[in-house]
Structure 1
Amino acid sequence: MIRRALDALYGASAVLAAIALFGIFVIMVGGVILRELGRELPAADDLVAYLCVATTFFALGHAFRRAELIRVGMLIETLPPGARRVQEIVALLLTGAGVAYITWWTAQDALFSLEIEEVAQGTVPIPLWIPKLAMPIGSGILLVAILDDLFAVLAGHKTSYIAAAEARAARGEYSAER
């Protein structure tokens, strides 16, 4: 049940990233069409920038689980299984600590923007806490994914990114493994 809930969380986050990416497309196409009609789409640049951040942060957890984030495993992959397990644990602990730090401070920034009622300086006064929420939410989901894999390694299982890379290799897909 927990596994299904976590996988649904990662999937929902990927869907949010896809929606944000589609939003960028819609705004850009709408801007081009309106420009041809002699009009302007207010705050288009601001909205596209916010959606770029949302696309990036919402995709992190899903990409991590599918081994689609950059990972340098040159040292870890040469180690024997016992030492590799220890190094995976250390790497996941350090990564988790860094992502927890990012999550904490981006959440504090969004809350501060809400508290001081900070708005965008563009043509449309968008409350900045709204687009800033994508950062702590997305990095929080990445933190959950990291902890998910940490618990898997501690339990003696493979991490999701190793399993995903092995599945790709079994299918003969080597484009992601460089």
Structure 2
Amino acid sequence: MLRQALDALYRMAAALAAASLLGIFLIMITQVVLRELSIQFPGADDISAYLCVATTFFALAHTFRRGELIRVGLLINTLAPGPRRVAELLALSLAAIGCAYALYWTIDDVLFSYEIEDRAQGALPVLLWVPKLSMPIGIALLLIAVADELFTVLRGGKPNYAIEAEARMAQGDYSS
């Protein structure tokens, strides 16, 4: 049941990333149409930038689980199963520490923006803590995904990102 809940969480985050990307597309199309009508779309660039950040951070956990984040496997892939497990544990532990560190500072940044009521300087005076929320949320989801894989490897299992990458290679898909 926990596995299903976590997978649903990762899919939900990917759906938010896709919705953000769609938002960027719609804003750009709207800008093109309005430009032809000699009408300005104030704040379009700002909104697109906020959505770009949201797209990136919301996609992290799902992309990681699917084995599509950049991962240097040259060394790990050549190791025997025992040393490979140790290397995976070390890499996942370091990734979890890095995610926790980034999570701490992005939360700190959001809270600081909230406290000082920081507003965007562009055409739309948006309270910046609102679009900044996508960063700690996305990093928190990535931290959960990394911890999920770490526990899988600790229990003696193979990480999902490795299974997914191997399945793509077995099908002849070397795109990632």
The 5 Å alignment of 1:68-87 reads 68-87=68-87
The residue aligned with 1:172 is 172
For residue 107 of structure 1, what is the aligned residue in structure 2?
107
- The range that moved more, 4-13 or 32-41, is 32-41
Deviation at 1:165, TM superposition (A): 1.1
Distance 1:143 1:28 in 2: 32
In 1, the alpha carbon distance for the partners of 2:153 and 2:42 equals: 49
Aligned positions, number = 176
Q: TM-score scaled to structure 2, two decimals?
A: 0.97
The equivalent residue for 2:157 is 157
Name 2:26's counterpart in structure 1: 26
Structure 2 gap ranges (5+): none
Structure 2 match to 1:123:
123
Instruction: Tell me by how many angstroms 1:42 deviates.
Output: 1.1
Structure 1 consecutive aligned stretches of length 4 or more whose deviation exceeds 4 Å? none
Q: Is 2:33 the partner of 1:15?
A: no
Amino acid across the alignment from 1:125: P
Cα shift at 1:174: 2.4
What RMSD, in angstroms, separates the aligned Cα atoms of the two structures?
0.8
> How far 1:171 sits from its partner (Å)?
2.4
1:29, CA displacement in angstroms? 0.7
| CA-CA distance at 1:124 after TM superposition | 1.1
Distance of 1:68 and 1:168 partners within structure 2: 10
Deviations 1:115-167 (A, max 9, x none): 11111011111110011001000011011000000000000001011110122
Alignment of 1:33-52 (within 5 A): 33-52=33-52
Which sections of structure 1, spanning at least 5 residues, go unmatched? none
Query: In 2, Cα distance between the equivalents of 1:175 and 1:105?
Result: 33
- Whole-angstrom CA distance in 2 between matches of 1:78 and 1:170: 17
Q: Percent identity among equivalent residues?
A: 60
